[in-house]
Amino acid sequence: MILTGATIITVDPQRRIFRRGGLVVQNDRIVAVGPEDEVLAAHPGQERVALDGKLIIPGLVDTHVHQAQAMIRECADDMALIQWLCQRVWVLQGAYDHEDARVSARLCIAEMLRSGTTTFLESGLAHRYGFEGVAEVVRDSGIRACLSKKVMDISTYATQDNAMPVGLRETRAESLLTTLEIFDRWNGAADGRIRVWFGPRTPGGVSPELYREMVAEARARGMGMTMHLAEVEADRRFLRETYQQSPMEFARSVGLVGPDVVLVHMVWLGEEDIRILAETGTHVSHNPSSNSKLASGVCPVPRLLAAGVNVALGCDGGPSNNTYDLVEEMKLAAVIHKAVSLDPTVVPAETVLEMATINGARALRWDDQIGSLEVGKKADLVVVDLDRPHLAPALNPVSALVYAATGADVESVMVDGRWVVRHGELLTIDAARAVAEARERAQRLYAATGIDPGPRWPVL
């Protein structure tokens, strides 16, 4: 099939944009991309899909997602992180069964696909969620994912007084050893769309011995690893008091550095931490909405970029964002560092689009296949409708996308050469059913745990 008439932002090494481009998809691959007339002349007789007035971009890569949290998105607004986690999020998640996790994953993926995310990194599925059910939703939805499984052996969050609910506690066997079995079953499944990673808990939740054992198992198999780190100031203080180390000194001491590691949030960093990140090629997932809403602080993205660190973008979860809309996340990533540094030239729109595409692909070590629209790569792409009042005149399509668009402007989405969203309609998930099931399951969870998601105003 040949896509014609659209503006194409390739994010290829030359960062070429075709005003009126053509893109040929054969099976799961891009076999041609360039000016429409040249592509048409070189590929006669193909099925034509006219996309005049539209914008084609590479499929977006969300490098930090909690699928299980989609269903409890409004459970803990306007709360401090420790209360947010210990009194709301953990309590609800600790009551999940396999079907809750499956329903939440379906809702989450429906939202991601509908808003242009074609690949995501799941931050760490708990044992109680049932990996199989979630992986089946990923497989059937058509999305691409690195699914990490939680690893832990200590049931506290940084300090002993914030103990984890019993329902979420896991032993070394349940977390580490189970992941190895899952890896054998699921890594490379769904035509290679699924990869299995480790998602260790943040320091304080995992002993240094288990971190080291996990890193050795990961490296023996080529698995990726992702972890929350230096999210709040208390994380940095905990590492200083317990191990006399900075966040990255600790990460390096247990082997959690390198191109196979994605560290998430990374708000509370010193110069030494940034130097270690750059030297080791460790990736950073920047989550500005979550860090803002939870008042964690602001990740020093301009300094990371200046040091040569690969920074990608992530939405985090339902209770911290509260959406999985990476288009919307791009705008905050582009504006927040300007406000903090009083410098409007930092983190320009083009840089943010790189973070949401090719940098994300690099972080997942998938940039040989995805992250840009180039011949030989997978046909993972997003069609955005530019003919809308809030996007017009869209003479600079990068600006329109980053500063003015939201995920609701996504019109069609292709993953692996297959339309998964077309003309605004999800083709692989029954969206109405996904919403209804999530609402019913969420109500049951709130009733079972005695948590009231609000509103705080009288409801008559």
Residue with tokens 């940084």: 158
- Output the six-digit token pair for 278: 């750059």
* Minimal CB distance residue for Zn ion: 316
Q: How far is the CB of 382 from Zn ion (least distance, A)?
A: 24
Compute the least distance from the CB of residue 285 to Zn ion, in Å.
9
Q: Per-residue x/- mask for Zn ion, residues 106 to 145, rule CB under 5 A?
A: -----------------x----------------------
Q: 196 vs 232, which CB is nearer to Zn ion? A: 232
Cβ 318 to Zn ion shortest distance, Å? 11
As measured in angstroms, the least distance from the Cβ of 265 to Zn ion is 7
Contacts with 309 (C-beta within 8 Å, 6 or more apart), sequence order: 274, 277, 278, 282, 283, 284
Q: In this complex, which beta carbon is closest to Zn ion, that of residue 296 or of residue 357?
A: 296
Residue whose CB is less far from Zn ion, 363 or 426: 363
CB 61 within 8 A of CB 371: yes
CB 201 → Zn ion: shortest distance, Å?
Answer: 11
Binding part of the chain for Zn ion, among 166-174, 309-317, 386-394, 420-428 by CB under 5 A, reads 309-317
Q: Are strands 381-385 and 311-313 parallel, antiparallel or unpaired?
A: unpaired
402 in helix, strand or coil? helix
62 binding Zn ion? (CB under 5 A): no
Neighbours of 452 (CB within 10 A): 10
Compare residues 284 and 426 and give the one whose CB is closer to Zn ion. 284
* Residue with smaller CB distance to Zn ion, 123 or 175: 123
- Token pair of 67 as six digits: 């699928």
Query: How many chain residues bind Zn ion (CB under 5 A)?
Result: 2
Question: Closest separation between CB of residue 419 and Zn ion, Å?
Answer: 30
CB 393, min distance to Zn ion, A:
38
Residue with smaller CB distance to Zn ion, 81 or 379:
81
**Least distance in angstroms from the C-beta of 23 to Zn ion:** 34
Q: Kindly give the residue spans of alpha helices, DSSP state H, lying in 73-206.
A: 81-83, 90-93, 98-114, 131-141, 172, 178-186
When the beta carbons of 46 and 69 are compared against Zn ion, the nearer one is 69
Toward Zn ion, which CB reaches closer, 316 or 385? 316
Look up tokens 């082997």; give the residue. 255
Strands 418-422 and 283-286: unpaired
Name which of 217, 229, 226, 318 is nearest 266 in CA terms.
229
Candidate list 62, 235, 260, 316; residue touching Zn ion; CB under 5 A: 316
Looking at 6-14, 310-318, 366-374, 438-446, which segment touches Zn ion (CB under 5 A)?
A: 310-318
Q: Where are the alpha helices (DSSP H) in 96-197?
A: 98-114, 131-141, 172, 178-186
Minimum distance, C-beta of residue 84 to Zn ion, in the bound complex (Å): 12
DSSP state of 378: B
Reading the block at residue 319, the tokens are 């209770």
Residue 182: what are its φ and ψ, rounded to 5°? -60, -40
Query: Judged by CB under 5 A, which stretch of 195-203, 267-275, 312-320, 385-393 contacts Zn ion?
Result: 312-320
Burial string for 29-49 (b: 16+ CB within 10 Å, else e) reads ebbbbbebeebbeebeebeeb
Both tokens assigned to 457: 């105003």
How distant is the alpha carbon of residue 457 from its chain centre? Answer: 33
- What residues make contact with Zn ion under the rule CB under 5 A? 123, 316
